[in-house]
Structure 1
Amino acid sequence: MKTISIMNHKGGTGKTTSSINIGAGLAKKGLKVLLLDIDSQANLTEGLGKGDPELSVYDSIRENKKLPILHVSENLDLVPSSIDLLGAEMEIVSKIGREQILNKLLKPVRPDYDYIIIDCPPSVGLLTVNAMVASDVILIPLLGEYFAYKGVDRLLGIVQEVRESLNEKLEIGGVFITQINPNRILTKTIVEKLTEDLQDKVFETKIRINVALAEAQLQGQTIFDYAPESYGAKDYEMLVDEILNRLN
């Protein structure tokens, strides 16, 4: 059983889209998957058609209640988020063991799943640190644009700090590039530069720009349900295969 955090301190990198479709791709292979949304924007929750839940991860964090788990589809479950989570970091900052809150909440449900995928906020605050403490692996989505990798060194440094002080088993699983336009001449240069800087941390699979990915979320569906023959579905299926190969 592995817990994976998908994180980037920048917004708009395809983090939530990737969380949804990596989780769905794993579930499609017969693996039991729990998606955990800890972003107060709740885009993952809404992108799976589960907006405005009665209970969310916020209630669990604030009141130490068991996680509210919603069934999405075969082999795929969700712990939803809500805008209430916006104030969670201020509420827990003075708690003893504040970095371990999420890890403790996940402990009872881990035996029920093969993978837990955590969609982190676009920042490196206390909730993101909680996710890193609860995780085995970090995956980082990067835009296929020049200078997209700026700040990644600092992010990798924070992961290392958490590993040294709070979670010695934490590993950086790799970086994958999203929103690639294969018709742009600049794209090849960008990919080469990212690979030169980050070396074997960069996944071979690249996620191409595909409007079906955005449309699927508007419909509250995964790409595999909405447009199974699209580039988006094919790219995420390949990415899931590469993730499994790397992790195993």
Structure 2
Amino acid sequence: MAEIVAVANQKGGVGKTTTTINLAAFLGRMGQQVLIVDVDPQGNASSGLGLDIHKIEKTTYEVFLEEVSLAEAILRTETQNVSVVPANVNLSGIEMDLLQMEAREYKLQASLKQVAPNYDWVFIDCPPNLGILTLNALCAADGVMIPLQTEYYALEGLTQLMRVIGLVQQSLNPSLELKGVVLTMYDQRTSLAHQVVDDVKQHFGEKVYSAVVPRNVKLSEAPSFGKSILEYAPDSSGAKAYEQLANEVMKNG
């Protein structure tokens, strides 16, 4: 049975999708079967893996509406052992569609049950908010991975995210746990970055992964070519960081 991980942070531009794609790629290279479920209407995890999201008819939107099964929406990617359930802008209207539905926060959990046994890992790439899509991801997941940029105000807003995680644990998904915090966009030349790393480690302790993802041009470029960093620039500092993260995730779960 797959380990299901929601990659979440309501702040945008912190490296959620970058982490989802590249962690999946390195786990895939290790022989792990990985499924990415894109629940961000921007569809960046889908396009970042080379899919033309404007031409795809079966997406997470249709899965939420129960027009197709999640299994029917799965697409193979060029990345070894990595498949994706894509998303596009249609998903942005899902809040209204789900208003009338019962148990709407469990839609994704129910859909994933049928396919989870076929994978080692399922990563749910969440939108930059704490709405119904992120709530569905938290209800479906075994754990949450939080990418956090090593910049000013990095911890701002995390209080709200941790509160939501706590509420989900209390009443919707008691088995949900914090898998870990991934430090991203690290610039070792600045004292601020060092200070943020220290603050985050003080706050989260052993839940902070040792792998620190640097600010790296190649990481920024790779999605526009529809490739993971493993395929685009395997010798880059960004690739080395995500390889280290994949090793940690494999070792510690």
Q: TM-score range by the shorter chain?
A: over 0.9
Q: Which among 54, 60, 79 is matched to residue 57 of structure 2?
A: 54
Letter in 2 for 1:87: G
Offset from partner CA, 1:34-93 (integer Å, 9 cap, x none): 011000011111111112212211011113421201101331101000100000011102
Q: How does 1:117-156 map to 2 (within 5 A)?
A: 117-156=123-162
The DSSP-based 3-state class of the residue aligned with 1:11 is coil
CA distance in 1, matches of 2:222, 2:61: 26
Contact 1:26 1:240 in 2 (8 A): yes
Letter in 2 for 1:14: G
Does 1:109 pair with 2:115? Answer: yes
User: What is the aligned partner in structure 1 of residue 42 from structure 2?
Assistant: 41
Letter in 1 for 2:88: S
User: What is the aligned partner in structure 2 of residue 71 from structure 1?
Assistant: 76
CA distance in 2, matches of 1:91, 1:151: 28
User: What is the aligned partner in structure 2 of residue 99 from structure 1?
Assistant: 105
138-147 vs 58-67, greater mean Cα deviation:
58-67
CA distance in 2, matches of 1:58, 1:232: 32
Offset from partner CA, 1:184-205 (integer Å, 9 cap, x none): 2222112112212222222211
Contact 2:169 2:176 in 1 (8 A): yes
Q: Cα offset for 1:154? A: 2.1
Normalized against structure 2, the TM-score is what?
0.95
Unaligned runs of 5+ in 2: none
Contact 2:25 2:80 in 1 (8 A): no
* Matched positions, count: 247
Contact 1:58 1:88 in 2 (8 A): yes
User: What is the aligned partner in structure 2 of residue 21 from structure 1?
Assistant: 22
CA distance in 2, matches of 1:193, 1:182: 15
The DSSP-based 3-state class of the residue aligned with 1:48 is coil
CA distance in 1, matches of 2:132, 2:99: 8
Cα RMSD of the aligned pairs, angstroms, is 1.1
Contact 1:100 1:133 in 2 (8 A): yes
Percent of aligned positions that are identical: 38
146-155 vs 39-48, greater mean Cα deviation:
146-155
Does 1:181 pair with 2:187? Answer: yes
Q: Cα offset for 1:110? A: 0.8
Could you list the structure 1 runs, at least 4 aligned residues long, displaced by more than 4 angstroms after superposition: none
CA distance in 1, matches of 2:183, 2:177: 19
Offset from partner CA, 1:133-187 (integer Å, 9 cap, x none): 1100100001111221112122112111101111111110111110001112222
Contact 2:46 2:86 in 1 (8 A): yes
CA distance in 1, matches of 2:191, 2:7: 29
CA distance in 1, matches of 2:152, 2:198: 11
Q: Which among 225, 243, 247 is matched to residue 249 of structure 2?
A: 243
